[in-house]
Structure 1
Amino acid sequence: MRSTMKTTTVTAFVQASALALATGLGATSAQAAEIATDPGDYTPLPAGVNLGLLYGQYATRDTVYSDGDKVPVDAGLDTTIGLARFVHYMDIGGIIVDPQIIVPFGKVELKETFGPLQPTSESGVGDPIVGATAWVLNQPEAQQWVGLSAFVSVPVGQYDEDKGPVNIGENRWKGIFQAAYVKHLSNRVVLDLIAEYSVYGDNDDFLGVTREQDDAQSLQAHMRYLLPEQSHLALSYYHSFGGETTVGGQEQDDRVNTNRWLATYATFVAPTVQLQVQAGQDIHVENGFEEEARVNLRVLKVF
């Protein structure tokens, strides 16, 4: 790709690149929340507890939008992504903090010819994410919590400069910041509200040119219904916006405005092992690939 490529084609490439990185505690991309939280993520556990988590996620996309209009092209982008995550809870000066690391891996597959790119795929290990949450308000007696998080994505994952949008790694640094409020509305109903702000370094080898990106934001909400036997049902809503890109010095007019929903069922199948299944899809996409279907699985081990 050269900097003289038509803007519409470059825009589509940029959106494909964003979605190709769907990892998640959900999706790690400009098209969706960089760290798409799960219901219950912001309820702290006691100091000394460790969590090991393994995620599996599959998503398929066959439609591309530009400025809210469907683009008349054949398109197909599938992602099969895994995540390995370790979390440790500790007490620092009376505040619960949970340093953690998230390592994505998997496969990204472009199924149709897209501009000059032929159908191709890339697999491997992506950019690890390291960070922590600090619970500045921790009131289990009032059943409410406030957590502040900071994460950084380190660009050491698999990246092929000749496949710019079809990669597991992003070849750039990212900073991800979240603030969350959790409140029990009744004995069985819990509301989680999360705001996210993401900043991006430059990818200096995006198909031979530099890709820059404006800051992006996300709002996330989870409504949980607590069931007996340490189980719950939840409905989640994610709204991502911002993140306009510049490729080869050309502004792409590709600001994200995406809404999606996700349904969750989670249960402890043993005293220290939880299984979680999720399904959902995009509701509205202003620019980029529309996610037709998503299925997530998660296994959590407490030790």
Structure 2
Amino acid sequence: MRSILKKATLESLATSSALVLAAGLFAGTAQSAEIATDPGDYTPLPAGVNLGLLYGQYTTRDTVYADGDKVPADAGLDTTIGLARFVHFTDIGGVIVDPQIIVPFGKVDLKEPSGPLQATSESGVGDPIVGATAWVINNPDDQEWVGLSAFVSVPVGQYDEDKGPVNVGENRWKGIFQAGYVKHLTDSIALDLLAEYSIYGDNDDFLGFKREQEDAQSLQAHLRYLMSKKSHIALSYYHSFGGETTVGGLEQDDRVNTNRWLATYATFIDPTVQLQVQAGQDIDVENGFKEDTRLNFRVLKVF
């Protein structure tokens, strides 16, 4: 009987604008990249070096899009997310590898009712991510590097099944794969090119339904200007696509197709401490919430 009621509820939502708004919210919580990758991240450091990083990411979203059209409804989604990251560089058979762990935490605020969801917030610790990058090309003489990465997101973060996407945890496994290429074009200009491919397990309790998601992809380009040995600025472009979801067996038509820009300034205030600030926003969004403002902060400690 319960499964029949669930199906009837979902089918009734599918015939109204409620599920369209909810689908927009589901897509809106997807990020441009599953792993925090900044300009210069794919340049390896010597074996034995450790990095401790702390990120702060604040994002506001006030509009929802469906199939490229703005949804005529009040909407608001703010996220305040922190990331604690530890990276260790080591040499394995002559190849530099950096095993690492990332632990997200923070708060997700749904500011306005969206379909079946009421204005609400959720905070806590998210799903930790573990993995590593291996540099298959490491040529400092020519200032050229290629790294291949693999990560897994472990579903042990805080999750409330009744709040669906308004959660810090996701209640599902994720596999994230990246390939990065770095080349210094001149003594002061460097180009980073990255491709990311993400696969998703099922969330078996998403608003009382099963949520499935197709594979998603992301392309990134970072153009850095090295102002000095201590400081650089960069302009980044992100393009994310794919990742359509199915909830309760019904396709949501929420395939991501998002473009975003981000500007970066980073400087070492001490030989072992770097500060970084970033600002940006979405350029266009096909489905989901559009980012109006994104502010990122990062503190990096070398030890």
Same fold, judged at TM 0.5 (above):
yes
Match of residue 134 from structure 1: 134
- 1:115 to partner: Cα distance: 1.3
Give distance in 2, aligned partners of 1:11 and 1:149. Answer: 35
Q: How does 1:31-70 map to 2 (within 5 A)?
A: 31-70=31-70
Give distance in 2, aligned partners of 1:290 and 1:210. Answer: 25
Match of residue 200 from structure 1: 200
The DSSP-based 3-state class of the residue aligned with 1:157 is: coil
The DSSP-based 3-state class of the residue aligned with 1:253 is: coil
- Amino acid corresponding to residue 287 of structure 1 in structure 2: N
Give distance in 2, aligned partners of 1:284 and 1:15. Answer: 14
Which of 12, 16, 40 is the aligned partner of 2:25? 16
- Aligned residue-pair number: 294
Instruction: Confirm or deny: 8 A CA contact 1:108 1:122 kept in the other structure.
Output: yes
Give distance in 2, aligned partners of 1:231 and 1:79. Answer: 29
CA offsets, 1:117-172, max 9 Å, x none? 22110000000000000000000001000000000000000000010110000000
- 1:256 to partner: Cα distance: 0.7
Match of residue 118 from structure 1: 118
Instruction: Confirm or deny: 8 A CA contact 1:144 1:181 kept in the other structure.
Output: yes
Match of residue 300 from structure 1: 300
Instruction: Confirm or deny: 8 A CA contact 2:26 2:288 kept in the other structure.
Output: no
Instruction: Confirm or deny: 8 A CA contact 1:14 1:165 kept in the other structure.
Output: no
- Amino acid corresponding to residue 116 of structure 2 in structure 1: P
Give distance in 2, aligned partners of 1:146 and 1:77. Answer: 36
- 1:6 to partner: Cα distance: 1.8
* Percent identity between the two aligned chains: 79
Q: What is the RMSD of the two structures over their aligned residues, measured on CA atoms?
A: 1.2
Q: How does 1:200-219 map to 2 (within 5 A)?
A: 200-219=200-219
Match of residue 80 from structure 2: 80
CA offsets, 1:203-231, max 9 Å, x none? 00000000000000000000000012410
- 1:14 to partner: Cα distance: 3.9
Instruction: Confirm or deny: 8 A CA contact 2:18 2:116 kept in the other structure.
Output: no
The DSSP-based 3-state class of the residue aligned with 1:193 is: strand
Report the structure number with the largest CA radius of gyration: 2
- Amino acid corresponding to residue 3 of structure 1 in structure 2: L
Give distance in 2, aligned partners of 1:295 and 1:232. Answer: 18
CA offsets, 1:212-257, max 9 Å, x none? 0000000000000001241000000000000111111001111110
TM-score for the superposition, normalised by structure 2: 0.95
CA offsets, 1:104-125, max 9 Å, x none? 0000000111112221100000
Instruction: Confirm or deny: 8 A CA contact 1:244 1:254 kept in the other structure.
Output: yes
Match of residue 109 from structure 2: 109
The DSSP-based 3-state class of the residue aligned with 1:3 is: helix
Give distance in 2, aligned partners of 1:278 and 1:153. Answer: 25
- 1:196 to partner: Cα distance: 0.5
Gaps of 5+ in 2: 1-5
Give distance in 2, aligned partners of 1:71 and 1:19. Answer: 13
Give distance in 2, aligned partners of 1:152 and 1:207. Answer: 24
Gaps of 5+ in 1: 21-28
Match of residue 3 from structure 1: 10
Match of residue 24 from structure 1: none
Instruction: Confirm or deny: 8 A CA contact 1:18 1:165 kept in the other structure.
Output: no
- 1:19 to partner: Cα distance: 3.8
Give distance in 1, aligned partners of 2:193 and 2:23. Answer: 29
- 1:18 to partner: Cα distance: 4.6
- Amino acid corresponding to residue 10 of structure 2 in structure 1: S
- 1:285 to partner: Cα distance: 0.1
- Amino acid corresponding to residue 177 of structure 1 in structure 2: F
Give distance in 2, aligned partners of 1:273 and 1:251. Answer: 47
- Amino acid corresponding to residue 286 of structure 1 in structure 2: E
Match of residue 95 from structure 1: 95
- 1:284 to partner: Cα distance: 0.6
The DSSP-based 3-state class of the residue aligned with 1:152 is: strand
Give distance in 1, aligned partners of 2:246 and 2:151. Answer: 24
Instruction: Confirm or deny: 8 A CA contact 1:10 1:247 kept in the other structure.
Output: no
Q: How does 1:159-238 map to 2 (within 5 A)?
A: 159-238=159-238
- Amino acid corresponding to residue 16 of structure 1 in structure 2: L
Give distance in 1, aligned partners of 2:21 and 2:91. Answer: 46
Match of residue 270 from structure 1: 270
